[in-house]
Amino acid sequence: MTHTNGFDRPTVSGGLFPSVALPPEALDGVRTRRMMAVGVDFVMVSLIVAAIWIVVGVLTLGLGFFLLAAIPPLFPMVAFFYNGFGSSGAKMGTLGMRMFDLAVRDPQTGGRVSFINAAIHGVLFYVSWLFPPVLLYSLAAPDKRCLHDIFSGVILTRR
Where would I find the H helices in 8-158?
30-59, 64-70, 74-88, 95-99, 115-128, 137-140, 147-152
Query: Residue 22 falls within a domain, yes or no?
Result: no
Query: Residue 17 falls within a domain, yes or no?
Result: no
What's the domain range around 91?
A: 30-158
Q: Mean pLDDT, the chain, as a whole number?
A: 83
Query: Residue 97 falls within a domain, yes or no?
Result: yes
Q: pTM to 2 decimals?
A: 0.78
Query: Residue 18 falls within a domain, yes or no?
Result: no
Residue with the larger pLDDT of the pair 37 and 30: 37
Query: Residue 15 falls within a domain, yes or no?
Result: no
Query: Residue 117 falls within a domain, yes or no?
Result: yes
Query: Residue 19 falls within a domain, yes or no?
Result: no
| Each residue's pLDDT tens digit, 144-154 | 888 888 899 89
Read off φ and ψ for residue 19, nearest 5 degrees: -90, 145
Report how many domains make up the chain. Answer: 1
pLDDT of residue 53 exceeding 50: yes
